[in-house]
């Protein structure tokens, strides 16, 4: 079975990286091979390298992560591959990366994923939003620090003309909001999300927030979620 043989080869590659070290993998051109292989004109070759990427991701040590981040944009772009098998493998590999990414790599991975979110290609947006959602579950505390960058980027897609992109953005936004740990704000998260999804709900949310006495400090991640709703609410009052 060709598929099983390809999977076995991918697992063997990952094992060799663990055995001989990442420096040898760089010398051997493994990561550059992934980038070029994922862009190959032959679908089978693209799928094999995506499978290899997934296998390496699933067994990655911290030393391997920077090299995988260099490959990640190409893997995200493969989410729009016209070949169904390649597309499915791209989704699997980026999901695996999002679920296993170490917390200390967050500063490096968030900009890469957000660049995918702002892609001109809807399939790349979808894969990137899905990966972002997985990251929020894998490392919620670390991801919350980056909400000032994440929220404005994702909010722009909540009303995307493509319903799939809009739905994925809404899900990623909700997952991002769930990373907050402010007891004063937590009860208002559903209202804040509603205000972001439906501008007409923003005024109601602002009134609820205005009637609240905040005890805990309002951090930058919390403000990142509140600011767009407050701006919409104040704008609605001015035009009313």
> How confident is the model over 117-142, as pLDDT tens digits?
999 999 999 999 999 999 998 889 89
CA angle 7, 9, 14 (to 5 degrees): 95
Question: With 80 as the cut, is the pLDDT of residue 1 above it?
Answer: no
Q: What percent of the chain clears pLDDT 70, i.e. is strictly above it?
A: 97
> Using alpha carbons only, how large is the chain's radius of gyration in Å?
20
- Among 63-67, 166-170, 186-190, which stretch is predicted with the lowest mean pLDDT? 186-190
Question: With 70 as the cut, is the pLDDT of residue 2 above it?
Answer: no
Q: Give the residue-averaged pLDDT of 160-184.
A: 92
Looking at residue 210, what is its pLDDT? 79
pTM: predicted TM-score of the whole model, two decimal places: 0.86
Ranges 11-25, 159-173, 197-211, most confident:
159-173
Question: With 70 as the cut, is the pLDDT of residue 48 above it?
Answer: yes
Q: What percent of the chain clears pLDDT 90, i.e. is strictly above it?
A: 55
Question: With 90 as the cut, is the pLDDT of residue 33 above it?
Answer: yes
Residues 130-156 as b or e (16 or more Cβ within 10 Å = b): bbbbbbbebbbebbbbbbeebbebbbe
Question: With 50 as the cut, is the pLDDT of residue 181 above it?
Answer: yes
Rounded Cα gap, residues 50 and 38, in angstroms: 6
Mean of the per-residue pLDDT values of the chain:
88
Q: Cβ(187)–Cβ(193) under 8 Å? A: no
Q: pLDDT-derived band of residue 240, with 50, 70 and 90 as boundaries?
A: very low
Q: Cβ(157)–Cβ(117) under 8 Å? A: yes
Rounded Cα gap, residues 92 and 115, in angstroms: 19
Looking at residue 8, what is its pLDDT? 87
Q: Give the residue-averaged pLDDT of 74-102.
A: 91
């Amino acid at each position: 079975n060709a598929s099983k043989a390809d999977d076995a080869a991918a697992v063997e590659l990952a094992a060799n990286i663990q055995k001989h070290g990442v420096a040898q993998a760089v010398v051997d051109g493994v990561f550059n091979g992934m980038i070029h292989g994922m862009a190959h004109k032959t679908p089978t070759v693209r799928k094999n390298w995506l499978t290899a990427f997934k296998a390496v991701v699933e067994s990655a040590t911290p030393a391997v992560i920077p090299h995988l981040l260099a490959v990640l944009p190409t893997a995200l772009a493969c989410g729009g591959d016209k070949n169904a098998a390649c597309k499915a493998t791209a989704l699997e590999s980026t999901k695996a990366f999002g679920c296993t990414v170490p917390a200390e790599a967050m500063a490096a991975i968030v900009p890469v994923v957000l660049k995918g979110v702002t892609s001109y290609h809807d399939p790349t947006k979808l894969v990137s939003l899905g990966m972002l959602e997985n990251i929020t579950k894998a490392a919620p505390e670390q991801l919350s620090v980056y909400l000032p960058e994440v929220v404005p980027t994702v909010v722009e897609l909540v009303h995307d003309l493509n319903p799939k992109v809009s739905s994925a953005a809404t899900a990623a936004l909700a997952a991002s909001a769930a990373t907050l740990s402010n007891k004063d704000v937590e009860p208002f998260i559903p209202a804040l999300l509603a205000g972001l999804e439906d501008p007409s709900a923003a005024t109601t949310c602002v009134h609820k927030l205005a009637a609240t006495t905040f005890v805990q400090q309002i951090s930058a991640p919390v403000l990142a979620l509140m600011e767009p709703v407050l701006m919409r609410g104040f704008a609605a009052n001015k035009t009313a």
